[in-house]
Chain A
Amino acid sequence: MKCPRCDSNKIEVIATSPVGNVWEVYECMDCFYSWRSTETPNIHEKFKLTKEQIDNLPVIPPVPPLDK
């Protein structure tokens, strides 16, 4: 299975339906996109991510320096 947003194959099952065996939830461990097995993700081009884009996303809020 591949991530529909960043194409990574590091996918984990983060949940199975607590009632019945009707769905699972998957998550990409590279970009943290998650989706349910009953959905058909259709990610717009502008929201897709490459490894380089992930590394360069803005950080909110900035991490302050450590106190000496």
Chain B
Amino acid sequence: MAKVYQDLRSFLTTLEENGQLVRIKDEVDPEPDIAAAGRAAANLENGPAVLFENIKGYPYSVVTNVHGSWANHALMLGMPKTASTKEQFHEINRRWDKYPVKPEILSREQAPCKENTIDNPDEINLFDILPLYRINEQDGGFFLSKASIITADPTEPENFDKLNVGTYRIQVKGRNRVGIQALAFHDIAVQLEAAERKNEKVPICITVGNSPLVTYMASTPVMYTQNEYEFVGALQDGVPTRIVKSDLFDNLYVPAGSEVVLEGYIEPRVREVEGPFGEFPGSYSGSRRQCVITITHITHRTNPIFENLYLGIPWTEIDFLIALNTSVPLYQQIKRDLPEVQAVNAMYTHGIGCIISTKVRFGGFGKEVAFRLLSTPHGGSYSKIIIIVDEFVDPFNLPQVMWALTTRVRPDKDVVVIPNCPGMPLDPSSYPAGIHSKLIIDATTPKDPEPNPREAELLEPPAGYEKYEALIRKLMAEM
């Protein structure tokens, strides 16, 4: 049974035991030090989480880059930190099929997130609890970039399947006020619209500092009627995640081990300037008028840890966080119709670039696989550059993909551009925003009836190489 985490703290302990967490004990300024460390950690090979213990003017600590490397990502899954990206991809797919796993509901007394309560709305001050800081220079304020946010469907508040746990960027606008980005195509916007039609407030819980798989599922695009907590149990290999009822709202449940839980309301029919904010494509998204939340109640653990992420020019922590949780749903959807597909790498800029490895059933099949990707809900608008490789090429290994491109692609027949297709507005090359051309590159070996006049013989690895791979790994680990 893989190691399972019910809170952030136990995961940080594991990261430290594996040499994947460093502590900065000296006093630092909130700006620009915390953001600079997040950028720096992401620049390193297998960058660690960075814990700041002493931030000027604040009582508590901050941790950044928790998900920001393949080693940390493997440890999140309870795998050895050396597990390859492809191994992690297949392990997530195996566990995915265990959905749904009902969460375990703890009593208030059992839940660590209820250790401290601030229930007088006049005493709410986010700056007392969270060491807030600016992430990128031109950001419009201090942001929560990694919160897991819980809302219910106003028309069916009792329906647990429609309880939504999602990640949305939050701009702090006062001691008890924050702004939220609720994009029209995300689940929370469906709930907001139903409430705003009746001019009703939307109850909301913003949770900060969660077990790593709660954060992971909060940023995974699953269906509206699929409960994210039941996926966390699946990805914990069948071990239920622990939740507890919110203090203010009977139908909202929060992770029992959260460091901080902010409870309050989205104000209906109100929009105020939000942004700009440095986003995952490596450029700023501009100012917009967006929703506002009033916080009226806080619970938190003693000595809470503020978990937040840096994002900017790829790769940063967010690219690791949304790498496989974008790839897995696409793989599941394509594989259902085309079982020859071996793996999907949709890790590049949230699936704008996508590499698929497949067996080729008949001539032209590579393009059929690309068409199937381009007819999935995510791939249809996000995926712009699609590369199809043979089943013996690891799509997560870019040197191998480059080998396929250099030895399998004849540009006159294997490269196709389809103009004027649905696009992704945050892609700064999309013009007009939301329209782009699709580029398909078929880097598979030709198969009958497509002619293959220069059939090549692939090299076989020398006998016994697997044994030596295991032995060399073991010797390295002992050094």
As a 0/1 sequence over residues 46 to 68 of chain A, the CB contacts with chain B under 8 angstroms (1 = contact) are 01010000100111111111110
Contact-residue size bin, chain B (C-beta under 8 Å from the other chain): 35 or more
Chain B interface helix/strand/loop/mixed: loop
**A58 partner residues in chain B, CB cutoff 8 A:** 288-289
Known: A43-B138, A59-B289, A67-B197. A19 touches B184 (CB 8 A): no
- Judge whether A44 is part of the interface by a CB distance below 8 angstroms: yes
CB proximity of A63 to chain B, nearest CB, Å: 5
Tell me the bound Cα distance from A38 to B58 in angstroms.
Answer: 14
Query: Contact between B189 and A61 (Cβ–Cβ < 8 Å)?
Result: yes
**B243 partner residues in chain A, CB cutoff 8 A:** none
- Judge whether B402 is part of the interface by a CB distance below 8 angstroms: no
Query: Contact between B269 and A62 (Cβ–Cβ < 8 Å)?
Result: no
Tell me the bound Cα distance from A26 to B51 in angstroms.
Answer: 27
Question: Closest chain B residue to A65 by CB distance?
Answer: B197
**A18 partner residues in chain B, CB cutoff 8 A:** 57-59, 125, 127-128
Question: Closest chain B residue to A21 by CB distance?
Answer: B57
**A20 partner residues in chain B, CB cutoff 8 A:** 56-57
Partner of A19, one of B57, B196, B269, B289: B57
Question: Closest chain A residue to B174 by CB distance?
Answer: A14
As a 0/1 sequence over residues 141 to 153 of chain B, the CB contacts with chain A under 8 angstroms (1 = contact) are 1100000000000
Query: Contact between B273 and A34 (Cβ–Cβ < 8 Å)?
Result: no
- Judge whether A31 is part of the interface by a CB distance below 8 angstroms: yes
Query: Contact between A38 and B289 (Cβ–Cβ < 8 Å)?
Result: no
Query: Contact between A47 and B276 (Cβ–Cβ < 8 Å)?
Result: yes
Query: Contact between A38 and B31 (Cβ–Cβ < 8 Å)?
Result: yes
Query: Contact between B57 and A22 (Cβ–Cβ < 8 Å)?
Result: yes
As a 0/1 sequence over residues 181 to 202 of chain B, the CB contacts with chain A under 8 angstroms (1 = contact) are 1111000010011001111000
As a 0/1 sequence over residues 119 to 150 of chain B, the CB contacts with chain A under 8 angstroms (1 = contact) are 00000010110000010011011100000000
**A47 partner residues in chain B, CB cutoff 8 A:** 138, 276, 284, 286-287
Query: Contact between B284 and A32 (Cβ–Cβ < 8 Å)?
Result: no
Partner of B141, one of A34, A43, A49, A67: A34
Query: Contact between A14 and B175 (Cβ–Cβ < 8 Å)?
Result: yes
Query: Contact between B289 and A15 (Cβ–Cβ < 8 Å)?
Result: no
Tell me the bound Cα distance from A27 to B274 in angstroms.
Answer: 13
CB proximity of A11 to chain B, nearest CB, Å: 13
- Judge whether B271 is part of the interface by a CB distance below 8 angstroms: yes
Considering only residues 1-35 of chain B, those with a C-beta below 8 Å from chain A are: 29-31
Tell me the bound Cα distance from A43 to B289 in angstroms.
Answer: 19
- Judge whether B172 is part of the interface by a CB distance below 8 angstroms: yes
- What is the size, in residues, of chain A's interface with B at 8 Å between Cβ atoms? 36
Known: A31-B273, A34-B172. A64 touches B138 (CB 8 A): no
**A33 partner residues in chain B, CB cutoff 8 A:** 140-141
- Judge whether B88 is part of the interface by a CB distance below 8 angstroms: no
CB proximity of B445 to chain A, nearest CB, Å: 46
As a 0/1 sequence over residues 1 to 33 of chain A, the CB contacts with chain B under 8 angstroms (1 = contact) are 000010000000011011110110101000111
CB proximity of B142 to chain A, nearest CB, Å: 7
Chain A interface helix/strand/loop/mixed: loop
Known: A59-B271, A59-B289, A61-B182. A36 touches B193 (CB 8 A): no
Question: Closest chain B residue to A41 by CB distance?
Answer: B137
CB proximity of B424 to chain A, nearest CB, Å: 16
Tell me the bound Cα distance from A62 to B193 in angstroms.
Answer: 9
Q: Which of B29, B141, B172, B192 is most buried by chain A, counting CB atoms within 10 A of its CB?
A: B141
- Judge whether B179 is part of the interface by a CB distance below 8 angstroms: yes
Partner of A49, one of B189, B199, B273: B273
**A43 partner residues in chain B, CB cutoff 8 A:** 138
Query: Contact between A32 and B179 (Cβ–Cβ < 8 Å)?
Result: yes
Tell me the bound Cα distance from A18 to B196 in angstroms.
Answer: 36
- Judge whether B43 is part of the interface by a CB distance below 8 angstroms: no
- Judge whether B376 is part of the interface by a CB distance below 8 angstroms: no
**B189 partner residues in chain A, CB cutoff 8 A:** 61
Tell me the bound Cα distance from A22 to B57 in angstroms.
Answer: 6
Tell me the bound Cα distance from A62 to B271 in angstroms.
Answer: 9
Query: Contact between A17 and B184 (Cβ–Cβ < 8 Å)?
Result: no
**A49 partner residues in chain B, CB cutoff 8 A:** 273, 287
Query: Contact between A64 and B271 (Cβ–Cβ < 8 Å)?
Result: no
Question: Closest chain A residue to B269 by CB distance?
Answer: A63
- Judge whether B437 is part of the interface by a CB distance below 8 angstroms: no
**A63 partner residues in chain B, CB cutoff 8 A:** 196, 269, 271
Query: Contact between B288 and A59 (Cβ–Cβ < 8 Å)?
Result: yes
Question: Closest chain B residue to A40 by CB distance?
Answer: B31
Query: Contact between B290 and A60 (Cβ–Cβ < 8 Å)?
Result: yes
**A-B contacts, 13 listed (Cβ < 8 Å):** A15-B127, A18-B58, A18-B125, A31-B273, A32-B173, A33-B140, A36-B30, A38-B29, A38-B30, A60-B271, A61-B183, A61-B192, A66-B197
Known: A25-B127, A32-B179, A33-B140. 17 other contacts (CB 8 A): A17-B58, A18-B58, A19-B57, A20-B56, A31-B287, A39-B31, A42-B137, A47-B138, A57-B287, A57-B289, A58-B289, A59-B289, A59-B290, A60-B289, A61-B192, A65-B197, A66-B198
Nearest 6 pairs of A and B residues by beta carbon: A17-B57, A15-B127, A34-B141, A61-B184, A22-B57, A67-B197
